[in-house]
Structure 1
Amino acid sequence: MAAQHHSHPQPVATFSSREFAHDLAGVKRAAQEGPVFITDRGTPTYALMKIEDFRRLANSGAPARSFLEVMDALPGTAGIEFEPPRLEGLVKPADLDD
């Protein structure tokens, strides 16, 4: 089966946790073709893939942006000055003398 390239890779095979435990070599062979899902009670809970594929996926996303960068990117919000008021008197320093 040819590997599919989606933003969320589709599994080439699915194994139950029990099958995974009893046939690790077979699961690893399947993972050579693409992601393998391991299920727990029928629900996919883990994905096994080649390390090269994992690294490619981990590095393929856009760099992380701060909350301020995300807000500035919204239409009509660039350049808005926001200075929240300081919250005074809500927090008391801990008394460590006891």
Structure 2
Amino acid sequence: MKVITSRDFNQDVSRAKRAARVEPVFVTDRGKATHVLMSVEAYRKLAGQTETIVDLLAMPNLPAIDLEAARATDAWGGRSAG
């Protein structure tokens, strides 16, 4: 567990973010822990979350979607979108 002061955090956010990739970083204010910085992956694991819609949309191996073909037919009435 990494602990840094709020002053150190403000002076070097990048260092805190790098440390949070490895383990949670506790930020203190006057010696008392006030915040925790952690990676998104660690947070999702802690919260029991699975992939989000953003994760799914960012998947590189999905087939391309032909948006023009989807617009060409009105999904409700079968009419052309012309």
TM-score range, shorter chain: 0.5 to 0.7
Q: What is the aligned-residue identity percentage?
A: 45
Provide the TM-score with structure 2 as the length reference.
0.56
Partner of 1:34: 23
Unaligned runs of 5+ in 1: 1-10, 61-98
Partner of 1:53: 42
Report Cα offsets for 1:4-63 as digits up to 9, x if no partner: xxxxxxx2x111010000010111111111100000100111100000110110118xxx
Tell me how many residue pairs correspond in the alignment. 49
- 2:22 is paired with a residue of what secondary structure? coil
Provide the TM-score with structure 1 as the length reference.
0.48
Higher-Rg structure is: 1
Q: Which amino acid in structure 2 is aligned with residue 51 of structure 1?
A: V
**RMSD of equivalent CA atoms:** 1.2
- 1:32 is paired with a residue of what secondary structure? helix
Return the structure number with greater helix share. Answer: 2
Q: Which amino acid in structure 2 is aligned with residue 54 of structure 1?
A: Y
Partner of 1:44: 33
Could you list the runs of 4 or more consecutive aligned residues of structure 1 that deviate by over 2 angstroms after TM superposition? none
